Structure 1
Amino acid sequence: MQSASDLISTWFKDDAYTEDDKDAHVIEQFVQNVEDFSSQYGSEISVSYTAFNLRGPPSNFPDYGDYPQAFVMRTYGTWWDEAPSVQKDYVPQNSNTIPSQDFVEVSFERAVYPLEVAVFETYNPGALVRIWALGPMSWILLWEGEPEYAGDTPRIFSPPIRQINFPTRILRLEFNHRLLPYYTELDAVLLRGKEPANLVKMKNNFAYSSLFYKKSQPAVEKGE
């Protein structure tokens, strides 16, 4: 079995910043707080398998497996939609082409113009279908894609996102678990973005992502 140190080296990215990025005050942040979520496997009186675990840098990556330090939602496979208690959609014409079964909303310390969103998946990856950014008036779609089952391996999923003309510090991630054989587990979410010109540059501008992943990422379709 590949060791954790070996796996980190395979994800290593030695050119985390370009010169343009440095000049533009690009920073990287992990989740500061979880604002809302649809479900969690863990109990409200425990930290195991709860949304709270999305706060801060990864706890388990690059290890793969079932860890209580991860965030786990309560859905997987198709049984959720096939249960007798499932609620029918009475206005299907208003539904998204790609339905979502779960969501989580996370906030970061500083508002930035998003350049990249990286999701650390450590168990049954592939359920993410949408990424939203909270704007001044409403949510703006940054990316949308079909669900998949990415296999029994950890990954950092970082799809190409839509560029927006306002800074944000709150993201919403939506999931569809129908292709997964078991629960998915998320270890962390990283937001990389450009600070507005009127804000002081973050003193510690260390590139967290340089420890974890390569520049090349899975080819995915950009959301409209």
Structure 2
Amino acid sequence: MSEVDDAIASARASWSRISDDRTGAVIPRTPSRARSRQTQAIGKRLTRIAVADVAILIAAMVIGWIVPLGIGGAMLVMALLVAATVLFAVWPAERAPTPERLAAVDIRALPAQTERWLEAQRPALPAPAMTLVDRIGLRLETLTPQLATLDANTQEAVDVRKLIGEQLPAFVKDYEKVPASLRTTPRNGRTPDAELVDGLKLIEQEIGEMTARLAQSDLDNLSTRGRFLEMKYKD
């Protein structure tokens, strides 16, 4: 097998790991995904605090060059620094989008917005669903760059919007409407918790298959380019 064939095989194997074709393969996942998102949120707060404090200090320096601040001015600057720090430390985090908003958001931003919405539903979901929420989040991250250049009017875009912008939120909301006391009670042989987990598994697998389908043209282009290079430059 040539080096080009090796490269193509490696690329296809990578996409196969991402696609999870219902054979039971497990995609790489981050067990501390929620913690990572929390760390990012804290980082944003710290950045806002730093920017505000620097702006206050620069303003104080400029004013001090013109008019001496004195002890009273220094105390005022300290009070402003404390106030800015407290304000941005307790400022409410950006709210997750509503299902109605997801149905209308731009297709390129839909995976990230859906992931934010799904993360906000964690408190209402059973423990067995948490791993699937993490895996769906990873699927959505993989899908995001693929949608950056996708025409929103294509059938592929319509299918993506239908699944992650409508069906996924509706499915989870239907589960949340079930009283908590009944979620572990069997009904027709299955509990609502089990139905939720099974449904999330299907959604996660379908997102993986969508990713693989969207990548097919890129894989074909790679293969064609590799063959061309092989024919043109190989001794």
TM range (shorter): under 0.3
Please report the TM-score for the alignment, with normalisation by the length of structure 1.
0.20
Larger % of helix: which?
2
Larger % of strand: which?
1
Larger Rg: 2
Please report the TM-score for the alignment, with normalisation by the length of structure 2.
0.20
